[in-house]
Structure 1
Amino acid sequence: MNYLQPTFYFDYTHENIQRLIAAFKDDSLSEAEKAIGLYTKVRDGYLYDPYHISLNPENYRASSLAEKPTGNCVEKSIVLIAGLRGLGIPARLRLGKVVNHIAVERLMEKFGSNALTPHGSVDVRLDGNWLKMSPAFNASLCEKLNVAPLEFDGKTDSYLQAHNAEGSRFMEYLEDYGHFEDVPVAFMIKNVKEHYPHIFDTDQNDLEFKL
């Protein structure tokens, strides 16, 4: 598989993505430095919002997502992957299911569960190794939740935070759906309909939901 090529969803040749990565097109920077810088920019530049669900494939294109001020974990991962590929760094999407143990009242109200699926994160290849990074939670949100923001050092995996600053459980991985060369929109739509059928009429296929 090729994790460097542009695709319909990872359309990094678009001016929106090129603008996002322009500051990192610097030959004096190592690949790790570029990945760290872009990771932090995407993590904090798009505020985390899990309460938006789209069933429209067009809305999962990185160039469209980069125009928004907010994004859920999958959307932010798509933007980051497109940017990494645009910098010549191999990257792919990883999906799974996670449980949030802190500030779950609204999650329970809207989703009927504190389990979030599909949860999106990024696999990036640096120095011959695949590393995991999760750009979902922006630093300002982490401060509100009393959780240290996830940093990426370019050498080790950067998972979701297992505990907050007081030692209480924060995030927990339940399932790993594997990695994908492109965005598996059909799989994601099927997954969200199976887990949250009460949110929408499953006979409809091209809708936006703001919960």
Structure 2
Amino acid sequence: MTVVTEQSPDTFEYLLRPTYFLDHDAPEIQEFVDRWVTDRDAPAAKKAVELYYAVRDHVFYEVYDADLSREGLRASSIAVGGQGFCLHKSILYAAAVRAVGIPSRLVYGDVRNHLASDRLKQHIGGDVFFHGLTSVFLDGRWMKATPVFNKLLCRLYGMTPLEFDGTGDSLYHPFDGDEGDSSQAMQFLRMHGEFDDLPYDYVMTNMRAKHPKFVHGDGTVAGGSLAAEAS
């Protein structure tokens, strides 16, 4: 799907509705929002930023033993489980912002990712990952937000946490490295598009095709910890 740029949020009323995966009418999502949003009547950007940091830093980033079933990728299940990787965290964020009146979509692309252990790269087949993030409509325009890598993992892997202030894209993850080489920032190699709900079959087909050693049945490879594998 392509991004449209009409200026009225009313145009995107359908992007506020709950869906099977973005089930923000579920009590688990409402409770998540109430925990982290200080005022539901605050400006949209303030709520978007509060929820960004809630998902980024309070939903643990873990790639191993991740549930990739349809039920496991529902926002309500992710809120209860409290962990996952980019697919899970982008879904939870998209649902949470819809719950406070902010239109959202899910975005998928292929990236070269530097937050990966040697073991994970072996399972992935290199450092190019199928990646998920979120697009939100704020102040009359669409912007991308990536509430994925929490502060602890960024510190362990020598990366600067990716910030979001509600005024521009949170997209190109910096990578400090030993010499602060800006060329080592996360690189987007291909964008697959933006979607109104999780395109489950499309995502799983891509995951199985690109990372066959990583996906096992309805989940990911077991027996690891990305934090523990940081060198």
Equivalent pair of 1:52/1:72 in contact (CA under 8 Å): no
Corresponding residue SS for 1:79:
helix
Residues 24 and 200 of structure 1: CA distance in aligned 2, closer, same or farther (over 3 Å): closer
TM-score (norm 2): 0.82
Equivalent pair of 2:115/2:154 in contact (CA under 8 Å): no
Alignment of 1:175 with 2:186, yes or no, is no
Alignment of 1:106 with 2:137, yes or no, is no
Moved more, 188-197 or 9-18: 188-197
Which of these residues, 116, 128, 140, is aligned with residue 128 of structure 1?
140
Alignment of 1:150 with 2:150, yes or no, is no
In structure 1, distance between residues paired with 2:18 and 2:40: 21
Corresponding residue SS for 2:80:
coil
Equivalent pair of 1:76/1:136 in contact (CA under 8 Å): yes
1:35 matched residue in structure 2: 48
2:62 matched residue in structure 1: 49
Residues 69 and 210 of structure 1: CA distance in aligned 2, closer, same or farther (over 3 Å): farther
Structure with the largest fraction of strand:
1
Residues 54 and 85 of structure 1: CA distance in aligned 2, closer, same or farther (over 3 Å): same
Moved more, 22-31 or 91-100: 22-31
Equivalent pair of 1:42/1:79 in contact (CA under 8 Å): yes
2:221 matched residue in structure 1: 210
Unaligned runs of 5+ in 1: none
CA RMSD between the two structures: 2.0
Corresponding residue SS for 1:57:
coil
Q: What one-letter code is carried by the residue in structure 1 that aligns with 2:220?
A: F
Identity %: 36
In structure 2, distance between residues paired with 1:171 and 1:3: 28
2:228 matched residue in structure 1: none
Alignment of 1:87 with 2:100, yes or no, is yes
Alignment of 1:194 with 2:206, yes or no, is no
